[in-house]
Amino acid sequence: MDTYWLEQTEADLPAHDDWLSPNEAALLGRMRFAKRRGDWRLGRWTAKRAAAAYLELPSEPQALQEIEVRPAPSGAPELYVSNRPAALTISLSHRTGVAACAIAMDDVALGCDLELVEPRAAAFVADYFTGEEQTLIASEPDEDRVRLVTLLWSAKESALKALREGLRVDTRSLAVTLPDHGPAPAALRQCSGVEAWRPLQVCYREGEIFQGWWQSTGQLVRTLVAAPSPLPPLFLDCALSAR
């Protein structure tokens, strides 16, 4: 199954809001805090650009007004085009001025996540990770442990989005495995110039199994999971340039 990925940064955001629908502009106007407003704008912009690219729609501001992200009853994002549900599934994430949108065909369980590689307390690991994951973390050299904790946490976040549950679910009920954990060969590159996606799996104790992919570039970790099993995500900018 094909999946697609688009990232945008704060530098990509237009200064004006003429790409928002009237409903979105009204919602933005009710947000009091600058950070919340900024994160929301960046997420919406990224989702709209990703949907326009995936659906081969125009991307000028007036056309983007016709694309809306609306919350499902679970809170998961859903895309509408001209007030009609779009035949696709999306997942959104943002971190430190970067937003990501993953896209797949309709009726797919899909989740994506961006995480900043940063230290987390031992109590965090004890509270949120399974015994097997804690053993894996403890076996890592000190210099690699922080990145591994970030990766495992990001995979759990992606799975929680695919489940449409968020942190209402105990993260220890999700077991992450990394089939080829270890340093990535330097030769593995995609057209974006970053490391190739590498496989992961997340098993939920209620029975669901998600296959997925991860990638680490600089201080950012990306993860994506889906059911049915996805192919490595294609960066939308690369996919479009190849057409």
pLDDT one-digit tens code per residue, 53-84: 999 999 899 999 999 999 988 889 999 999 99
148 with 89, same domain?
A: no
Edge-to-edge strands of the sheet including 67-71?
67-71, 77-81, 84-85
Q: Would you say residue 237 lies in a domain?
A: no
- In the predicted structure, residue 243 carries a pLDDT above the cut 70: no
The pLDDT mean for the chain works out to 90
Q: Give the span between the Cα atoms of 69 and 65, in whole angstroms.
A: 11
165 with 208, same domain?
A: yes
102 with 119, same domain?
A: no
135 with 100, same domain?
A: no
Domain C-terminal end among 91, 107, 123: 107
Taking residues 2-12, report their average pLDDT: 96
Q: State the pLDDT confidence band at 194, using cuts at 50, 70 and 90.
A: low
**Coil, strand or helix: which one is 210?**
strand
State how beta strands 198-204 and 209-217 pair.
antiparallel
Q: Would you say residue 122 lies in a domain?
A: yes
88 with 150, same domain?
A: no
Structure tokens at 21: 């629908």
Stated pTM of the model: 0.90
2 with 99, same domain?
A: yes
164 with 98, same domain?
A: no
176 with 158, same domain?
A: yes
- In the predicted structure, residue 240 carries a pLDDT above the cut 70: no
Q: Give the span between the Cα atoms of 36 and 163, in whole angstroms.
A: 25
Q: Would you say residue 230 lies in a domain?
A: no
Q: Give the span between the Cα atoms of 155 and 152, in whole angstroms.
A: 5
78, 92, 91, 102: which is closest to 42 by C-alpha?
92
- Angle CA(202)–CA(88)–CA(20) in degrees, nearest 5? 115
Taking residues 202-221, report their average pLDDT: 93
Q: Which residues form the domain of 90? A: 1-107
**Coil, strand or helix: which one is 147?**
helix
Q: Would you say residue 170 lies in a domain?
A: yes
Residues 25, 22, 51, 222, Cα dihedral to 10°: 20
Q: Answer whether 174's CB lies under 8 Å from 202's CB.
A: yes
85 with 137, same domain?
A: no
Domain count, the chain: 2
102 with 138, same domain?
A: no
Q: Would you say residue 95 lies in a domain?
A: yes
Q: Using one digit for the tens of pLDDT, what is the confidence trace for 130-162?
A: 999 999 999 999 889 999 999 999 999 999 999
Domain C-terminal end among 73, 90, 107: 107
Domain C-terminal end among 51, 80, 107: 107
Q: Give the span between the Cα atoms of 153 and 140, in whole angstroms.
A: 16
**Coil, strand or helix: which one is 188?**
coil
DSSP 195: B
